[in-house]
């Protein structure tokens, strides 16, 4: 049985669907192969008296920031921010998270700071990384429809992610990456001071609200988010990206949205 070779267009579409959207070089590189060993030249091997000269000192590369050091630095920086504008600048200059080196830009927030509702997702995707605002891709378009269904739009909410840089290939952020970014989103919540939090998806819900269950068990439930000497009610719900993959679950998200509006209207 002969298998027909894929066309260049089909290969590109496959790579894009797999999250490969950046070409590093023109030629493939085997990064697992050991570096080639070059034999020393005759001049370098011996000096005029026949002795082998000492090897030249190797230039030292700056060591990457240790995770514990990065976490401590993140906590200190986040705590020092007196307002959201300063927090964004501090976060943009923070080098403790490796995701910054692979992302195009920082994706800090969208909507209106100080709005009654603050929505928190997981991490930026490709569209968010290109534009610099959270929830602007397909999931963001669905979020806009969800907000419209309860009489809201982006001007009536404040939107952010627990991780402000796009992970390569849209993969899930690692626990270490989330832990390093967590002090910044916690301070962002404190400075924005919403009346209600909405955590979308398992990573945001589990890490912000200290929960271990899956999102299908957590969604629709209210939790307390302690910050700045007070507790903000937080509603866990499904991420719009999940709803795009599982459209049959949209009815659950609709129940959560109705519970959100009922909470806001109650005394």
pLDDT per position as a tens digit, 160-173 = 999 999 999 999 99
How far is the C-alpha of 205 from the C-alpha of 172, rounded, in Å?
14
Q: pTM (2 decimals)?
A: 0.76
Residue 61, pLDDT > 50, answer: no
User: How far out from the chain centre does Cα 217 lie?
Assistant: 23
The number of domains in the chain is: 1
pLDDT per position as a tens digit, 227-248 = 988 999 999 999 999 999 999 9
The answer as to whether 25 is a domain residue is no
What local confidence, expressed as pLDDT, does residue 44 receive?
47
- Domain containing 74 equals 67-265
What local confidence, expressed as pLDDT, does residue 208 receive?
97
Q: Please compute the mean of the pLDDT values over residues 200-212 and round it to a whole number.
A: 97
More confident residue, 67 or 63: 67
What local confidence, expressed as pLDDT, does residue 32 receive?
55
**Bridge partner list, 198:** 119, 235
The domain that holds 81 is classified in CATH as: 3.40.470.10
What single string gives the DSSP state of each residue in the chain? -PPPPPPHHHHHHHHHHTT------SS---TTSPPPPPPPPHHHH--TTSPPPPPPPPPPPPPPPPHHHHHHHHHHHHHH-SSHHHHHHHHHT---STHHHHSSS----EE-TT-SEEEEES---HHHHHHSSSS-SHHHHHHHHHHHHTT--GGGEEEEESS-SPPGGGPPPPHHHHHHHHHHHHHHHHHH--SEEEEESHHHHHHHHT--S-HHHHTT-EEEEEETTEEEEEEEE--HHHHHH-GGGHHHHHHHHHHHHHHHH--
Number of other residues whose CB lies within 10 A of the CB of residue 165? 25
pLDDT per position as a tens digit, 91-104 = 999 999 999 999 99
**Bridge partner list, 157:** 117
What local confidence, expressed as pLDDT, does residue 51 receive?
57
The answer as to whether 228 is a domain residue is yes
The answer as to whether 28 is a domain residue is no
How does strand 117-121 pair with strand 157-161?
Answer: parallel
| Structure-token pair, residue 17 | 């669907």
The answer as to whether 14 is a domain residue is no
């Amino acid at each position: 049985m002969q298998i027909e070779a894929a066309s260049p267009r089909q290969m590109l579409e496959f790579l894009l669907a797999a999250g490969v959207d950046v070409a590093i070089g023109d030629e493939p590189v085997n990064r697992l192969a050991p570096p080639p060993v070059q034999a020393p030249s005759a001049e370098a091997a011996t000096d005029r008296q026949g002795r082998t000269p000492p090897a030249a000192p190797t230039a030292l590369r700056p060591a990457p920031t240790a995770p514990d050091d990065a976490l401590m630095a993140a906590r200190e920086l986040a705590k020092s921010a007196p307002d959201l504008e300063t927090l964004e600048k501090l976060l943009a200059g923070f080098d403790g998270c490796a995701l910054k080196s692979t992302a195009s830009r920082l994706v800090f927030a969208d909507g209106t700071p100080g709005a009654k509702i603050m929505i928190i997702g997981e991490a930026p995707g490709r569209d968010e990384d290109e534009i610099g605002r959270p929830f602007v891709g397909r999931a963001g378009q669905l979020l806009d429809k969800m907000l419209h269904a309860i009489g809201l739009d982006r001007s009536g909410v404040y939107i952010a992610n627990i991780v402000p840089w796009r992970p390569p290939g849209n993969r899930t952020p690692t626990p270490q990456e989330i832990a390093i970014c967590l002090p910044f989103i916690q301070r962002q919540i404190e400075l924005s001071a919403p009346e209600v939090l909405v955590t979308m998806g398992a990573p945001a819900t589990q890490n912000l609200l200290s929960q271990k269950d899956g999102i299908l068990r957590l969604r629709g439930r209210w939790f307390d988010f302690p910050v700045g000497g007070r507790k903000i009610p937080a509603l866990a719900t499904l991420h719009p990206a999940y709803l795009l993959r599982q459209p049959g679950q949209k009815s659950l998200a609709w129940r959560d949205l109705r519970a959100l509006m009922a909470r806001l209207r109650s005394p």
